[in-house]
Amino acid sequence: MTILDRIEDPRDLDALTAEECRMLAAEIREFLIAEVAKTGGHLGPNLGVVELTIALHRVFASPRDPIIFDTGHQSYVHKLLTGRKDFARLRQRGGIAGYPQRSESEHDVVESSHASSSLSWADGISRAFSRRALGDPSQRDRHVVAVVGDGALTGGMTWEALNNITDDNDRNLVIVVNDNGRSYAPTIGGMARFLNSVRTTAGYRELQEGSERLFSALGAPGRTVYRAARGAMRGIASRASGNQDLYSNLDIKYVGPIDGHDLEAVEQGLRQAKGYGRPTLVHVITEKGRGYAPAENDVADQFHSVGRIDPGSGEPVQQASGSSWTSVFRERIVELAEADDRIVGITAAMLAPTGLDLLAERHPGRVIDVGIAEQHAATSAAGLAFGGLHPVVAVYATFMNRAFDQLLMDVALHRAGVTFVLDRAGVTGPDGASHNGVWDLATLQIVPGIRIAAPRDEETLRELLAEAVAVDDGPTVVRYPKGATGGALPALRRSDDGVDVLRDTGGGADVLFVTVGPMARLALAAAELLSEQGITSTVVDPRWVVPVAGTVVELARSHRLVISIEDGIRVGGVGTRIRQSLRDSGVDTAVDERGMPDEFPEHASREELLSDAGLTAERIAADVAAQVRGDRVPVARPESG
């Protein structure tokens, strides 16, 4: 039996010796590499927090002392130490989630996987504990711990929370800054420079290197004495070098910097912070991908998130077939920027994942990384547009939710020519509820003057991106899903207002399918099934789904039933917009909106989630046929002759 086999609850850690804890850390790394290689997932972040997580659970009593992981992609070690060791279906239906999830364990507190929110959660929980302790003294010894990465410190919400936390010091709140110098990519900005100065300061670096040499030279008795003194020596070095100046200015206690892979030092620092009885920041320096050479040597993102890989080499087991949506954008934005020097890119700490890395490589200075600060990105883009440029803000669709106010009031109200490119739009699958991009169509289309495009294949993405950056009198959005673009879907013809007709019976039809982006494939398959039952269909791709094109309205006038298909939520979605446009134009054709329910999608594959929502060709064809044959919808027949 391994030491990991013996850990079913965090309190099982209490009986371990220091040497057993180090052996446990090694076992956890071996486990993570072997298991995540089979399923894919966030490998690098978890390899970097093994010792830190062990120390957290030895010092604090979860769940009585809640541990809140900012973002949560580094919670695999936490899951292992709280009894969740079956990683066989990680991020798959029926398996454990890739982020904290309350339904899995009482040890999981915050499910949202959006960065920079942990300190606000911790502030609220610690205030609640303090308030409850007024009437119940047993609550006074409860602590709240927030684990926040240095990348998340670039988000404004973190600093709003810090300002509020330091306004009331009578609370048991510990903030652990997991400083590895990276989010997806190296962390940028003034805070990153400050932390880097701490990480590379001569006093800290020389002490770390010298102590490791001394440790290796000592025998077992000497090592015991050395471990006891090492944390204190580092604390003295930190204070002497003035590295806590920033935090002392915020009126918050500071402990560190601490080598995040030195279990005893981390544990000592956490116990010190726990004893203060006031908000305290513990600065822990870690290495993303620690202990796994392929991750440590990956300069791009140190295996932040991987698919299935060979555990020995780190190479992907299966190469993706065909072009991905992101790769098409990556190449096309460079082409457009080379033809128009007004185009600049903006990323929120996700340069490579969103595809702006090639533009940054080819044209240094024309891509701005604002850190994890989508709100700032949107308003800064409005300023760039006012200054005569055309900014392209590339973010994951789920993160666009955070910048809605800025899009509405700073970009749209001022009619700023800004293009938002939303990667991972619609149903993404394995990353779970907060990473599915199913809300963008419903939320963004209420913005006055906005234009939203949804390409169905590689060629229409190239076209629509060019059309979007040519608009300078208001915001444009180009949204596309995760994964491969699939084969080309050529149009039979294109209307004057840009609507592509993909299927046409040539003499009228029963059903008009209006599709959003790649859902065109689903509509074509459903139309083929209906044709086998004698029900005729027209299939159109509006390309620009908001506002509704006049051609869609006129085609609806000549059909008996309109079926809209989107992979966003139905409530307030494109189908709803089409229904309104028909009513405004006096068209009484029935509209059946097909999309995702207004629920948080659980982690599962994209195909499973679409099937759950009835978004399959077979289900749609069966439902349409039932409507037609049930005479609930009059049937239009082609004229003879």
Distance of alpha carbon 503 from alpha carbon 99, whole angstroms? 42
Through-space distance between the first and last CA atoms of the chain, rounded to whole angstroms: 81
Q: Is 608 helix (H, G, I), strand (E, B) or coil?
A: helix
> 631: which 2 tokens?
């005479």
**Annotated binding-site residue? 73:** yes
Distance of alpha carbon 44 from alpha carbon 35, whole angstroms? 13
Q: Is 569 helix (H, G, I), strand (E, B) or coil?
A: strand
- Distances in whole angstroms, Cα of residue 477 to Cα of each of 218, 584, 616: 62, 24, 26
Sequence letter at residue 294: P
The one catalytic residue among 22, 274, 332, 402: 402
Sequence letter at residue 607: E
Distance of alpha carbon 248 from alpha carbon 81, whole angstroms? 34
- Distances in whole angstroms, Cα of residue 118 to Cα of each of 70, 159, 321: 5, 11, 38
Partner residues linked to 503 by β-bridges = 539
Q: Where are the beta strands (DSSP E) in 115-240?
A: 144-149, 173-179
**Annotated binding-site residue? 150:** yes
Q: Is 375 helix (H, G, I), strand (E, B) or coil?
A: helix
Distance of alpha carbon 410 from alpha carbon 391, whole angstroms? 14
**Annotated binding-site residue? 151:** yes
Of the candidates 212, 186, 180, the residue with the CA atom closest to the CA atom of residue 283 = 180
> 332: which 2 tokens?
């096309």
> 291: which 2 tokens?
């202990």
**Annotated binding-site residue? 163:** no
Phi, psi values for residue 86, rounded to 5°: -90, 95
**Annotated binding-site residue? 549:** no
Asked whether 259 and 285 are in contact (CB, 8 A), the reply is: yes
Residues 6+ apart with CB under 8 A from 257: 179, 198, 199, 204, 234, 238, 243, 283, 284, 285
Of the candidates 359, 320, 327, 329, the residue with the CA atom closest to the CA atom of residue 341 = 359
> 465: which 2 tokens?
């991106």
Asked whether 441 and 574 are in contact (CB, 8 A), the reply is: yes
Residue position matching structure tokens 């600093």: 159
- Using a 10 angstrom Cβ sphere, with 0-12 exposed, 13-18 middle and 19 or more buried, the burial of residue 493 is exposed
**Annotated binding-site residue? 363:** no
- Using a 10 angstrom Cβ sphere, with 0-12 exposed, 13-18 middle and 19 or more buried, the burial of residue 234 is buried
58 is catalytic: no
**Annotated binding-site residue? 113:** yes
**Annotated binding-site residue? 385:** no
Q: Cα 629 to the chain's mean position, in Å?
A: 44
607 is catalytic: no
Partner residues linked to 343 by β-bridges = 390
Distance of alpha carbon 454 from alpha carbon 567, whole angstroms? 11
The one catalytic residue among 267, 374, 458, 593: 374
**Annotated binding-site residue? 585:** no
Asked whether 135 and 95 are in contact (CB, 8 A), the reply is: no
3-state secondary structure 236-304: HHHHHHCCCHHHHHCCCEEEEEEECCCHHHHHHHHHHHHHHCCCEEEEEECCCCCCCHHHHCCCCCCCC
**Annotated binding-site residue? 277:** no
Residue position matching structure tokens 């204190």: 232
Of the candidates 20, 29, 149, the residue with the CA atom closest to the CA atom of residue 80 = 29
338 is catalytic: no
- Distances in whole angstroms, Cα of residue 448 to Cα of each of 407, 426, 480: 10, 22, 22
Strands 590-596 and 493-494: unpaired
The one catalytic residue among 253, 288, 332, 479: 288
Residue ranges for the known binding site for thiamine diphosphate are 73, 113-115, 151-152, 180, 292, 374
Residue ranges for the known binding site for Mg(2+) are 150, 180
Tell me which residues are annotated as active site: 288, 374, 402
Residue ranges for the known binding site are 73, 113-115, 150-152, 180, 292, 374
